[in-house]
């Protein structure tokens, strides 16, 4: 019995390590990863799933500057506290984008004005990035609604699953990226694959954008894959704001799970994103690290050493030493719109800790004068709450991004973005 239990533990612990070796483009890869999350969400493994076992903790103060000054309005937030927090996340969590210069050009490869039986225009765009002799291409797919007759708000998805979920021909449809439904509601849909920017495996930072921009030896705050994917989202936005069918001031960046962590960081680094959607981003995303519920820093930074900067590792089993917690990451979206959602069976991603994180970020949003207050207790299953510029729901079911989630993103965007 004991050895069976050990075997279960070993398999559960090793599965994500295999997942790190699988390209994000690989269908089996993301399925294995989602399955792992389901397995790891079951009580019985070494991770904590009991509220009673959550340690007591004190979150770092959100609205006090490092010099001890109270942040009472949006000006102080934007001019001093926000940049301070951003720096802390660069240094301790996601890493810093190198200052290396690069060239960028856009090429619209094809335009189909009668896509989706005439409901949408489909464009395939190559975003070419080069530095010295090296180059890479980010392939951006963009659908915009024809009926609107004016530039449309757009959801840009950082895709961590690959083409089977984001098929531009729409022969294969997936709830993960429900283009038809979004177009019918007047939203454009854009997507790029994270793997175009940086492969999702631990390759010593030799490939993807690292091969182009990492000129200096790596240090504790050198960027990891999540920051690289977020950077890729910004390059897509560089294009989107030039497209006459897109309302450039109304682009939302969306991501699921590891993509959700990257979306939060993209919105933090790039304030041109009008809205951020974090779908089940969990540890290293929306969930409070100090709760040590479900996935922990220790675990994520050993299973996925390429995601974060290496300084982050020092906070494994040492969360209280971290000068930030994830409510501060969520607050970096303020005063723009932020949507966080979770799934009830995705305990690995700590739904309650993600809600508490959002709740603790609200004071930064309230500085804008819009009332963004939400209740202290997490809302019941499948009930959306919207407080001005912030929104949340917890869906029944497991780790995934479904049409029902997207419908709520759009309900929120109808209010917060349009």
Residues that bind ligand GTR (CB under 6 A): 16, 19, 33-34, 36-37, 257-258, 282-283, 295, 300
For residues 380 and 16, what is the distance between their CA atoms, to the nearest angstrom?
A: 31
39: CB partners within 8 A, 6+ apart: 12, 15, 45
- Residue 256 annotated in active site: no
* Nearer Cβ to ligand GTR (154/300): 300
Pick the closest to residue 394 from 386, 404, 384, 403 (CA basis). 384
Which of 210, 306, 393, 399 is an active site residue?
399
* Nearer Cβ to ligand GTR (283/356): 283
Dig out the tokens for 58 from the structure: 């004190």
Dig out the tokens for 174 from the structure: 């997936």
Minimum CB distance to ligand GTR, residue 374 (Å): 24
For residues 110 and 101, what is the distance between their CA atoms, to the nearest angstrom?
A: 29
Which of 131, 193, 257, 357 is an active site residue?
257
Minimum CB distance to ligand GTR, residue 1 (Å): 27
Contact assessment for residue 175 and residue 401, using Cβ atoms and an 8 Å cutoff:
yes
380: CB partners within 8 A, 6+ apart: none
C-beta nearest to ligand GTR: residue? 257
Minimum CB distance to ligand GTR, residue 349 (Å): 7
- Residue 257 annotated in active site: yes
Cα Rg of the chain, angstroms: 20
For residues 131 and 211, what is the distance between their CA atoms, to the nearest angstrom?
A: 9
Contact assessment for residue 389 and residue 372, using Cβ atoms and an 8 Å cutoff:
yes
Number of Cβ atoms within 10 Å of the Cβ of 40:
23
* Nearer Cβ to ligand GTR (183/356): 356
Minimum CB distance to ligand GTR, residue 28 (Å): 13
Minimum CB distance to ligand GTR, residue 258 (Å): 3
* Nearer Cβ to ligand GTR (19/191): 19
| CA distances in angstroms from 115 to 85, 122, 144, 164, 176, listed in the order given | 43, 6, 9, 18, 19
Length in residues, the chain: 418
Minimum CB distance to ligand GTR, residue 16 (Å): 4
Which residues does the annotation mark as catalytic? 257, 399
């Amino acid at each position: 019995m004991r050895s069976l239990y050990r075997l279960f533990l070993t398999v559960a612990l090793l599965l994500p390590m295999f997942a790190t070796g699988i390209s994000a483009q690989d269908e089996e890869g993301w399925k294995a990863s989602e399955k792992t999350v389901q397995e790891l969400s079951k009580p019985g493994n070494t991770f904590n799933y009991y509220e009673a076992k959550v340690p007591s903790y004190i979150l770092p103060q959100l609205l006090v500057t490092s010099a001890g000054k109270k942040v009472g309005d949006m000006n102080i937030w934007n001019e001093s506290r926000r940049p301070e927090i951003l720096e802390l996340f660069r240094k301790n969590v996601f890493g810093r984008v190198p200052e290396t210069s690069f060239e960028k050009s856009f090429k619209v490869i094809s335009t189909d004005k009668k896509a989706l039986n005439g409901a949408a225009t489909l464009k395939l765009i190559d975003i070419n990035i080069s530095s010295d002799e090296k180059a890479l291409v980010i392939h951006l797919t963009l659908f915009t609604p024809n009926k609107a007759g004016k530039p449309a708000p757009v959801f840009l998805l950082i895709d961590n699953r690959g083409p089977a979920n984001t098929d531009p021909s729409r022969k294969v449809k997936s709830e993960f990226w429900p283009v038809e439904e979004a177009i019918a509601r007047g939203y454009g849909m854009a997507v790029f694959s994270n793997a175009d920017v940086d492969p999702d495996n631990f390759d010593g930072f030799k490939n993807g954008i690292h091969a182009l921009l990492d000129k200096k030896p790596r240090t504790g705050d050198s960027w990891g894959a999540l920051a690289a994917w977020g950077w890729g989202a910004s390059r897509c936005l560089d294009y989107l704001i030039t497209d006459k069918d897109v309302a450039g001031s109304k682009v939302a960046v969306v991501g699921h799970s590891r993509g959700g962590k990257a979306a939060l960081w993209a919105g933090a680094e790039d304030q041109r994103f009008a809205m951020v959607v974090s779908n089940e981003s969990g540890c290293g995303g929306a969930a409070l690290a100090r709760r040590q519920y479900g996935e922990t820093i220790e675990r994520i930074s050993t299973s996925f050493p390429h995601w974060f900067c290496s300084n982050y590792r020092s906070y494994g089993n040492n969360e209280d030493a971290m000068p930030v917690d994830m409510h501060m990451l969520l607050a970096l979206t303020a005063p723009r719109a932020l949507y966080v959602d979770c799934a009830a069976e995705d305990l690995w991603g700590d739904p309650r800790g993600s809600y508490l994180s959002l709740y603790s970020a609200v004071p930064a949003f309230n500085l804008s004068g819009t009332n963004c207050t939400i209740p202290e207790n997490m809302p019941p299953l499948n009930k959306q709450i919207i407080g001005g510029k912030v929104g949340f729901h917890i869906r029944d079911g497991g780790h995934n991004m479904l049409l029902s989630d997207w419908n709520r993103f759009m309900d929120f965007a109808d209010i917060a973005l349009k």
